[in-house]
Amino acid sequence: MARIAERVEPILHNRLAVLRAERGLSRQELADALGVNYQTIGYLERSEYNPSLDLALRTAEYFGLPVEAIFSRRPFALMSDQLYASTTRADTANG
């Protein structure tokens, strides 16, 4: 029985949880906006479900971001690290 439920596709990493938190959205609100069940948002955030291309594009459209900014085959760097690095670079450039 477990064989069916076993994951066979590769893990798709995503930034859904961060984006949702940034915008102060509940899973239910995001689910309603994307036309899916709120549990599906939870499974997506935990990388336990890979979205279809259609759902990935709808998600990107909803957040106004390119799809690769939300979903990636490789783990994302921490947003805080990226933000801090870019801030540090800007400070250095400004002297």
Partner 1 sequence: MTPRTLTRDGSRIERLSRRNRRIIAAATLLGLPAMFAWSAIMAGTSVPSVVWGPVTFMLIGITLVGSLVLYRFIQHRADMPGAGLDERQRQLRDAAWILSYEILAAVVVAAVAIAAVAVLGFGHPIVLDANLMSAVAISVGVLLPLLPAAALAAIEPDPPTEI
Cα–Cα distance, 94 to 37 (Å, whole number): 47
| 5 or 90: CB nearest partner 1 | 5
Question: Which position has the token pair 């935990």?
Answer: 46
Check residue 95 and report its DSSP letter. Answer: -
Q: Does 8 bind partner 1 (CB under 8 A)?
A: no
Q: Tell me how far apart the terminal alpha carbons of the chain are, to the nearest angstrom.
A: 62
Binding mask 18-57 for partner 1 (x = CB under 8 A): --------xxx--x---xxxxxxxxx-xx-xx-xx-xx--
Footprint of partner 1 on this chain (CB under 8 A)? 1, 4-5, 26-28, 31, 35-43, 45-46, 48-49, 51-52, 54-55
